[in-house]
């Protein structure tokens, strides 16, 4: 394992984050770096980062800044594994290492963005991200989505960079119109 690739990425990403750019500008600056990182992931990822979990998608911490300004994870998605409908409360940049990752978006049509109930969500579009693809998102307006791999597809592996320590996120119950904050585990 050659940590120089990861170290160089983290150094450049940290400089961008500490420049206090707007979230959209962070994503714009970091997406090309993620594209390069995806191509060079074999240099710094080891077998534990590719380990699946039979019960749910697996989140493996690759790097976290001590000041919680960014975190990088390798996620492993077995066929049929999905996130709940959620938002991140942060910007993010995602790159796909293997397989096809599917993202189904939601649009919040209720006005009060601070409310945890009475939330109306409408289904939005779908994005299929193949190996080598990079995408990004910003928190305002809410980036609400569900991500995973349909049962008929092969597993996917992706890198996820967030503008904070991603130890929790908001999940949505679309039918009940509610939102709640949940803790998210990783290895």
Domain that holds residue 172: 3-183
Q: Which CATH number characterizes residue 51's domain? A: 2.60.120.10
How far apart (Å, rounded) are the C-alpha atoms in residues 184 and 124? 25
H or E stretch at 96: strand 92-98
Task: Please name the residues in contact with 42: beta carbons below 8 A apart, sequence gap of 6 or more.
Answer: none
Query: DSSP string spanning 40-55?
Result: TGGGT--GGGG---SS
The model's pLDDT over 27-70, given as tens digits with 9 standing for 90+, comes to 999 999 999 999 999 999 999 999 999 999 999 999 999 999 99
Q: Are 94 and 156 in contact (CB under 8 A)?
A: no
The model's pLDDT over 126-163, given as tens digits with 9 standing for 90+, comes to 999 999 999 999 987 779 999 999 999 999 999 999 99
Considering its fold, how many domains does the chain have in total?
1
The yes-or-no verdict on residue 185 having pLDDT over 80 is yes
């Amino acid at each position: 394992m050659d940590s120089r690739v990861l170290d160089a990425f983290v150094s450049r990403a940290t400089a961008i984050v500490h420049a206090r750019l707007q979230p959209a500008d962070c994503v714009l600056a970091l997406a090309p770096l993620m594209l390069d990182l995806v191509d060079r992931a074999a240099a710094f990822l080891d077998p534990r980062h590719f380990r699946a979990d039979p019960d749910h998608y697996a989140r493996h911490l690759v790097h976290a800044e001590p000041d919680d300004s960014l975190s990088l994870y390798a996620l492993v998605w077995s066929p049929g594994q999905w996130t709940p409908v959620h938002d991140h409360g942060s910007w993010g940049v995602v790159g796909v290492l293997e397989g096809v990752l599917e993202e189904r978006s939601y649009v919040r049509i209720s006005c009060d963005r601070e409310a945890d109930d009475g939330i109306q969500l409408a289904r939005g579009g779908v994005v299929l991200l193949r190996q080598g693809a990079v995408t990004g998102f910003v928190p305002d307006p809410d980036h609400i989505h569900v991500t995973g791999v349909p049962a008929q597809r092969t597993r996917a592996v992706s890198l996820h960079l967030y503008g904070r320590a991603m130890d929790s996120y908001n999940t949505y119950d679309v039918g009940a119109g509610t939102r709640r904050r949940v803790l998210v585990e990783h290895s």
